[in-house]
Structure 1
Amino acid sequence: MSQDPWLQNYDATCRLAQDIAENIHERSRLQRTGGNPAKINMTLRASLQKLKQNISQLKESLLRASSSRRIMQSEADRRQNLVDDLVTREKHLNATFRGEVKEEPSRTTLMSGAGGGGGAVNPWLVNESEETRGLSFGEIKQQQHSIIEAQDAGLEALAAVISRQKMMGREIGNELEEQNEIIDDLSHLVDKTDDRIRNETRRVKLVETKSASCGMLVVIVLLLIAIVVVAVWPV
């Protein structure tokens, strides 16, 4: 299911506000190091104008959705609070750009605590790694993007290995099935051979029995003939 267009526009506006804050921080860095902030000032003016237009569009879109009851009142109230926060942020960014208020705390300030005089230290970001220390927001985003790309490459390599192992497993399974079929055929052949051997053995025994009976009959007949001959033979 696709995201609500209003929420998509809101997310885009939030990203624009974050980019503006990062550019303001970068402009301050250029000013401290003696760089020329003219180009980034032009970018900031255009971005701030775009931010104002986006917030105005969000307001109008929210008003139409609320009036036509396309969204529930509770959701309308929630979105109104989001727009109010954006308005406050837009005013603060404009004031910061004009130098009317102090710039939002930089990453270094967040790492080391709010200002001097024993300000509270951020408990979540106090131990910044050496890899990100001193980098700008844009450089950290690029570093994170590179890390994600490396992780994706590792996952793709792992997926390829798993795919090959899966294919090998299938081939082994097919080979085992073929071997089992061969073993079944051999077992059936052995059973048939055993039956034939038993049948031939019975036939041989039967022939031997008949042969023995015929031999005795011949002997008896010969004896009878001899007796008859002796009886009728003249003395």
Structure 2
Amino acid sequence: MNCRIAKEAWDKLKLEYQGSDRTKQMKLLNLKRDFKSLTMQEDETITKYSDRIALIVNKIRSLGEEFSDARIMEMVLVTLPERFESKISFLEESKDLSQISLAELMNALQAQEQRRALRQKNVTEDSYNAWLIDSGCTHHMCHNATIFKDLDKTYNSTVKVGNGGYMDVKGKSTIAIKTNSDNQCIIFNPYGEKLLCMKMKSNSFAINCENAIKYAYAGVTQSVLDI
């Protein structure tokens, strides 16, 4: 690159990387179209969505176009999924959105997303220990084998559930639970049989509770516990 003055060097660099004015305008037009078509996907995180926005905005700005944060914020607020609606409403009621920076908005949205993810994790962990009953309420089942005492894995059977399907039973055993007085009692089903453990593909399914029996039996004392 033979240039006698700095301006000549700068003009040649602009032409090489930005192209002619016509090429530059076409690039800007395409990038602005991409920006307007941006929308956050349901399974996308705020961080990933923010990165996609920044990639386009930085390209626009590199072509010499002014692109304000206020414009970006406006686009973000109207393209977020419904799960952020409560947060946006709170911000609108508690603060002047025109006085909030883009960084503050994204940080607030990320914080809400992290709290929701933590709550969902806790729900999933609770669901893992959830108990299920079959359509006739003759069996009590759980897919967490670790809570059973001396699990008999040689026992195999099938159980019909409320949606009409059948599930494979992978074993049976007793369950020890603590009472308010810190004692333990062993739970059997209403026929004195040990509880069942089965392999499941999901945490929940439809059950038929029309003939539900509202009792469980304590194996230690054979007393009835109203549930």
Identify whether the pair has TM-score above 0.5, normalized to the shorter chain.
Answer: no
Higher relative strand content: 2
**Which bin holds the TM-score, normalised by the shorter protein?**
under 0.3
Normalised by the length of structure 2, the TM-score is 0.23
Higher relative helix content: 1
Normalised by the length of structure 1, the TM-score is 0.22
